[in-house]
Amino acid sequence: MAAQLATSYGRGFSWQNVFRMMKFAELYPDSQIFSPLATKLTWTNVVEVLALEGDARRDFYLVMAAERAPEACSGALRQARPRAQACA
């Protein structure tokens, strides 16, 4: 499937990325709720959120990422993951 997607749509569809896309879709199946937030996320945000365990931790990171969308590569956002790890 990854090879077909890459042929049709270009790079970025390695099997690892397709797996991540599928996992993200499983975690957030309700597109009406999640779609507005998704437009503010980078691919790095998606990869980071998949590494977190627990809904509260993932949700915390997503809110931080969406709030800091213009400065997504800033140190403040990179610090959100450790804070999300601490979230219970």
Residue 23 and residue 50 in contact, taking contact as beta carbons nearer than 8 Å: yes
Provide the residue ranges of all domains of the chain, joining segments of one domain with +: 2-86
State the alpha helices, DSSP H only, in 12-86: 15-27, 31-38, 43-50, 55-67, 75-78, 80-86
**32 three-state secondary structure:** helix
Quote the pLDDT of residue 9: 83
- pTM, to two decimals: 0.67
pLDDT tens digits for range 23-46: 988 888 887 767 777 788 888 888
Say which DSSP state 39 is in: T
